Amino acid sequence: MRLRPALLAAALLLASLTAHAVEPVRSVPQLDMGRYAGQWHEIAHLPVSFQKKCVGDITATYALRAGGRISVHNVCRTGDGDHIATEGVARPVEGKPGQLQVRFAPDWLAWVPLVWADYWVIALDPDYQWAVVGDPDRKYLWILSRSPRMDAALFASLKDKAEAMGYDLAPLKVMAPVD
């Protein structure tokens, strides 16, 4: 008879764990880099050290290069009104649509695996008007738009998609108008 409370507790614990299971982080099944290229406005992001000085007007511009690489040009406005820019390069992951690796280290360090970071497009508008970008470890997340502002209902829907994949959005920083 003592076994029953232990079994009941184990069953409740298992049910609790199952109820909180999250979807795995998956990239989109197709990504047309020609359509993805161009300027994106950052609507929100999870805090990262390399963006700590950015307070607004954050953009990322992607351009196709020879050899399948993609140029990355990021710009943001700092608290003192200046702008900072960074240049990087991205490369598609072979056989993994929607998955890129990006680096902002100099070209001469491109051979070092640690300078490349995962950049997965995890949600994408069919018309390429918005995108959600993250990484499989759920440390990074950006909500991007072709427009410098986003509809509040759409923003809530994109946050729901990210949370369903296990992203903790409590520290999410909203960097552009959501209305």
What are the residue boundaries of the structural domains of the chain, listed by start?
Answer: 21-174
125, 32 Cβ separation under 8 angstroms: no
Is the per-residue pLDDT at 5 higher than 80?
no
pLDDT higher than 70, residue 50:
yes
Cα of 22 vs its chain's centroid, Å: 17
Residue 22 banded pLDDT, cuts 50, 70, 90: confident
Task: Please name which of 50, 25, 40 lies closest in space to residue 120, comparing C-alpha atoms.
Answer: 25
Task: Name the residue among 62, 53, 66, 74 with its Cα closest to residue 31.
Answer: 62
**Across residues 123-150, what is the average pLDDT?**
97
Q: Which CATH architecture has domain 21-174?
A: Beta Barrel (2.40)
- The least confident of 4-18, 110-124, 132-146, 156-170 is 4-18
Q: Sign of torsion, CA 91 138 108 105?
A: positive
Q: What would the two tokens of residue 127 be?
A: 């018309």
**For 82, what's the count of Cα atoms within 13 Å in the CB-facing half-sphere?**
4
Report pLDDT for 113.
77
- Residue-level pLDDT at 109: 85
- Write the CB contacts of 67 (distance below 8 Å, at least 6 apart in sequence): none
Q: Residue 79: pLDDT above 50?
A: yes
Q: Determine the pLDDT at residue 4.
A: 56
Torsional sign, CA 152, 153, 155, 160 = positive
